[in-house]
Structure 1
Amino acid sequence: MSNTDDAPQKTILVGRFHGAFGVKGEVKLESFTEPADRILKYQPWLLRDAQGRERTLAGVRGRSSPKGLVVHVPGIEDRDAADATKGTELYVPRSALPPPAPGEYYWVDLEGLRVVNVEGVDFGRVSHLFATGANDVLVALGDRERMIPFVAPDYIRSVDFDAGVVTVDWDADF
């Protein structure tokens, strides 16, 4: 029998450090949250550097600048230390995020769901989603990769979390 309290929590990538901003140890932060500064509310963060080392970080303060979000990280006091953070990714537990509004989804919640079209053809599973500027795109991996515009109800007909299925209006041959 397994204890669900011991099960690892799903984490979500919410940002990435881009190195030094100025000479006083501030760090440029690319935020994947909307609005960008909301990332500051989701602390503590799990940091993962390029070598895969992880640590927890809290107490970060930040501000918006014309070049994006700039943060002060406890323990980083100079440009060299700030530059050393470049490429570090920031994760939070999925449970730290508020529930999405009706009809909205966190991409991470869609990953792994089965994708079928309205005729019942199985397209595989949601691999990931990405933004194009015009609309988001759902990538289904099965017998081959399919990229489906995440536009409801035109192409995305329904998302059923209970059944674990995304139903799409998409030609199986396309």
Structure 2
Amino acid sequence: MAKPLIINVVELLRWPGTTKEVAVSLDVVDLEFDDSRIVNEPVDVALHLESMSNGISVQGTACATWSGLCRRCVAELSVRMTVDISELYQKELEDPDAYVIDNDQLNLLPMVRENILLAIPLGPLCRPDCPGLCPHCGIDLAESSCKCEISTADPRWGALEALRGVLDDPAE
């Protein structure tokens, strides 16, 4: 079976300005992710390849689903994300961030995989204003409130706090 993300670019390299469209839906297994956060759902890839004098520009998107836990409330998340892709392929690497054109072929698989993995947040949130869990009783503060008294002051700063009281009092 032909690999869908290995593209023959002989014609593109021959004429700068030539374009080619690539649109595929891949199984997660095809992308060889070594990451348990990627959900086993199809990954949709839509790319626009354009030949330039110094290589081939690859623009487009990849849609994949990842799962994880909210870093504040530990709720399970499953998010379908769309990753914007903008990369350059060159026969002779002039740009350190470019990918290599090998034997007049582009292997888009490592580039797509890398862009998807880099787009997954390291500390995901279920929502931007997630209050998280109470540090004392562990109740989810988004669903209900607790009666725990939380002291935000560290007792080791007590001497400095007393000094602030003296400095803030203009009567003395």
Tell me the TM-score range normalised by the shorter chain.
under 0.3
More helix by share: 2
Give TM-score, length-normalised by structure 2: 0.25
Larger Rg: 2
